[in-house]
Amino acid sequence: MGTSKWALLCAGFWVTTACGSTKPPSKPAETTPPPAPKASTASPAQSAQEQQEPPPAQPPAPSQAPATPQANPPFDWARWARSSDLPIPTPPVAVQCEGLDTSARPVSWRPNNGFAVRDGEELMLDLAAPKHQEPKAWVLLLHGGGWRAGERAHLHREAVTLASMGYAAATADYRLAPDHPYPAALEDTHCATLLMRDLRFSIDHNMSSPLVLIGFSAGAHLAAMVAATDYRGNVLCGRRSGPDSPDTGTHVPSGWEVSGWVGYYGPYVLSPITRWHRANQRMISKFLGGTTADLESLEGLAQQATPTFHVRTEPTVGRALLVHGSKDVSVPPAESHAMAKAIREKGGIANVLELPELPHGFRLFSPLPGASVGACETLKFIQSLATP
């Protein structure tokens, strides 16, 4: 077999900005000793010349000003291409699904890839991919936690397991409420989706391999907002533009890049907030930047953040699989049925898989009885998108 693009890139493409950890642009200067910054970096010849002919004082150049959160540098693709594999954080889960090849393959692990800087914090994406082959699909995993808790590491096991089956799978940060209320988490998911789009494009210029979002609970809500609505993002994603990257406009709906999405027990109808029980009213209120004392004034934002109200029309809306446990008392299965109904009314394709006896919060590759049905249906869904 001839040397493929993937083979050429495999030895070095899956790099992280963190095989030296990337920092926001202004941070390296903070670690330089303030008394004589040039003396610590200049060569002896340069130092002698400066002592003989001190340069005239000049106003600081504009480039010396600290970078703002919205003015992110381009993604460091050269550094990305030079890094080496790191040990996987967890072994893959053994999965058996009738009619699917789920045999384990070697995995390339690339954590800590910065894709945006927000409020002085660099957002990261951890990426797992199969070694020695082009990915069959690209999957972005979005953790749950009521928009106020959780982290990307919670889905490492899912990412590694998917990669062992031949998929490139990433799990990404998003900012959390109440410190970062809506639409912060949605903006970050938008940027992570566009970075996955660009990574896919760097390998597959025809974009024939699908891009799939899989979200859990609050992450399923974010997946729905990106994949099924006309959300366009009003932020600069900054680090997603690579060489040969397609359109880099900041207002392109990232959902147009998504072939399909899977939502696990997501809350899709936030409005009216009063329809929810008290605990969820508090959670939704914090997500929207208020408290339960502000329910009336928050209702407009709740409608804006309700994906069932904003489903876009086919053919641009991707296919959806909505998975829910029948014993979920935190987010009732009716939420998934409502989301599927809204998609179908706009001409899209959405199926609901309601799993008997399962509660809220079961994992993709959960050992709970009956959960394997959800895992296998999810894998079949991804495979159907990857099959021409």
- HEC profile for the chain? CCCCHHHHHHCCCCCCCCCCCCCCCCHHHHCCCCCCCCCCCCCHHHHHHHHHCCCCCCCCCHHHCCCCCCCCCCCCHHHHHHCCCCCCCCCCCCCCCCCCCCCCCCEEEEEEEEEEEECCEEEEEEEEEECCCCCCCEEEEECCCCCCCCCHHHHHHHHHHHHHCCCEEEEECCCCCCCCCCCHHHHHHHHHHHHHHHHHHHHCCCCCCCEEEEEECHHHHHHHHHHHECCCCCCCCCCCCCCCCCCCCCCCCHHHHCCEEEEECCCCCCCCHHHCCHHHHHHHHHHCCCCHHHHHHHHHHHHHCCHHHCECCCCCCCEEEEEEECCCCCCCCHHHHHHHHHHHHCCCCEEEEEECCCCCCCCCCCCCCCHHHHHHHHHHHHHHHHCC
Q: What is the pLDDT of residue 19?
A: 33
| Greater pLDDT, 316 or 213 | 213
Residue 248 has pLDDT above 60, yes or no: no
| Greater pLDDT, 143 or 249 | 143
pTM for this entry: 0.78
For the ranges 15-29, 109-123, 237-251, 340-354, the one whose mean pLDDT is highest = 340-354
Q: What is the pLDDT of residue 7?
A: 36
Q: What is the pLDDT of residue 120?
A: 83
- CATH of the structural domain 91-269+306-386, one choice from 1.20.120.530, 3.30.360.10, 3.40.50.1820, 3.30.70.260: 3.40.50.1820
What is the percent of the chain with per-residue pLDDT over 90, rounded to a whole number? 57
Q: What is the pLDDT of residue 285?
A: 98
**Average pLDDT, whole number, for the chain?**
79
Q: What is the pLDDT of residue 150?
A: 97
Q: What is the pLDDT of residue 61?
A: 45
Residue 341 has pLDDT above 90, yes or no: yes
Q: What is the pLDDT of residue 316?
A: 63
291 φ/ψ angles, rounded to the nearest 5 degrees? -135, 180
Sketch the domain layout of the chain as residue ranges: 91-269+306-386
Burial group, residue 59, by CB count within 10 angstroms (0-12, 13-18, 19+) = exposed
Instruction: Compute the average pLDDT of residues 53-61.
Output: 45
Residue 271 has pLDDT above 70, yes or no: yes
Q: What is the pLDDT of residue 30?
A: 41
Residue 57 has pLDDT above 70, yes or no: no
Instruction: Compute the average pLDDT of residues 6-21.
Output: 34
Instruction: Compute the average pLDDT of residues 154-175.
Output: 97
